[in-house]
Amino acid sequence: MEQQQSSFKNKDRVDIHEPRRFKVRIFNDDFTTMDFVVEILTTIFFKSQAEAERLMLQVHKSNSAIVGVYSYDIALSKVQKATHMARSKGFPLRLTVEPEDE
């Protein structure tokens, strides 16, 4: 009886890595209202009212704050939504996506 040879090789070891994570940072400016920043944080980043107010004050005092850590696609999507919402209201709000420190 002949044994069939497979063209597929069995791989004994599979390396599975967590997807890279990215921080979303929001920056202070002299024109975007504090109320609008809280609105962005509650509607787009799903922060509680208390957490949104705490982050808004951190941005106001420190010039920026990390508002979340996400996969790249989600971080980018949230930044685009927040930026679009800010521009539609006439605010120059700036957010960035940065690699998380490893």
pLDDT tens per residue across all 102 residues of the chain: 555 665 666 666 777 888 899 999 999 999 999 999 999 999 999 999 999 999 999 999 999 999 999 999 999 999 999 999 999 999 999 999 999 985
Q: Nearest 5°: CA angle at 69, between 59 and 101?
A: 95
- Sequence ranges of the domains in the chain: 21-99
Contact between 71 and 99 (Cβ < 8 Å): no
Q: What CATH number is given for 21-99 in this structure?
A: 3.30.1390.10
Taking the C-alpha atoms of residue 20 and residue 96, their distance in angstroms, rounded to an integer, is: 16
Contact between 78 and 45 (Cβ < 8 Å): yes
